[in-house]
Amino acid sequence: MKDCLFCKIINGEVPSYKVYEDDYVYAFLDIANDVYGHTLVISKKHYNNVIDCPARSLGKIITSVKKVGDHFISLGYSGYNIINNSGASAEQSVMHLHFHILPRKDNDGVKVWKELGKQTKALEDIAKELYFEDEKTNTIDYSKYAEECDVIYTDGACSGNPGKGGYGGIYIKLNGEAEEFSGGEDVTTNNRMELMAVIVGLEKTAENAKVKVYSDSAYVVNAFNQNWLTNWKRNGWRTAGGSEVLNSDLWKELSTIVSARDVEFIKVKGHSDNILNNRCDQLATAYYK
């Protein structure tokens, strides 16, 4: 951001005493110079705080924060404090995501924790008020479904046809890491959402990659496995009966993406016992529900 102090430090517009830098964070000594080695670790991309930072990005930032703290341990410190304030009410003074790291030694005389007083409400009552369950929590171990190539599961759904629709998918890399994705449109069809799921999924893979696409859509799978797409292209994007191929804009886009990869399309039974297909359906329907 133009007027953000920390953005200016990252860009070199304001001087700082750098101690570490990687793709995700920039770490430098706090100008307060109150505790020896007091370090600020700030995100390179501007987020106001933890509240508006996406979980995936925050995970990478936290990994870098730990790397800085562990470096202090390697220098002979026995511990470190990590402090973060998110939001003005939490006493955040600079609205750019950052963490304070304080290297610590036994009996160093530093007191970080304040006396915060005592609550009058019982912990049992507070727990009832604050407790929540994350209905979106996904406990599937996607690494079990990794193969010798990239794997993509997809599904599309529509409330009304046409109507409000969504698509969902799971991209599983060779190393077992996985990424869920979803999206949708307010006015669309089920077939368009099936196609969009495959397009978005394949765009996440590298060119020349070997990929298996699992879909419950015969419309998608048969177009490739039964040479419908080849015939449509040869006929100028017209069917054997001479009519224009429906969704030709998406078919053309998908055809281009597939031509740059080694893709195998595999039909799975929908709304059955396929865990990953069912998860894709949840992601797709969540858009319009």
Residue 192: per-residue pLDDT:
97
From 150, 155, 166, 201, the catalytic residue: 155
- Tabulate helix, strand, coil % of the chain (nearest 5): 35, 25, 40
Residue 134: per-residue pLDDT:
57
From 96, 100, 156, 166, the catalytic residue: 156
Residue 171: per-residue pLDDT:
97
The rounded mean pLDDT for the chain is: 93
Tokens of 139: 């406990």
| Paired strand residues for 266 | 214
Let me know if 156 is a catalytic residue.
Answer: yes
Let me know if 241 is a catalytic residue.
Answer: no
* Mean pLDDT along residues 216-240: 95
Domain with CATH 3.30.428.10 in the chain: 5-104
pLDDT tier at 173, thresholds 50, 70, 90: very high
pLDDT in tens, 21-55: 999 999 999 999 999 999 999 999 999 999 999 88
Let me know if 38 is a catalytic residue.
Answer: no
Residue 281: per-residue pLDDT:
94
Domain with CATH 3.30.420.10 in the chain: 142-286
Confidence check: pLDDT of 137 > 90? no
Tokens of 27: 């770490």
**Which is nearest to 83 in space by CA: 60, 57, 101?**
101
* Mean pLDDT along residues 168-191: 95
The CATH number of domain 5-104 is 3.30.428.10: yes
* Mean pLDDT along residues 76-81: 97
Model's pTM, two decimal places? 0.55
**Which is nearest to 248 in space by CA: 233, 261, 234?**
233
**Which is nearest to 195 in space by CA: 243, 136, 245, 233?**
245
Let me know if 194 is a catalytic residue.
Answer: yes
Record: fold of 142-286: Nucleotidyltransferase; domain 5 (3.30.420)
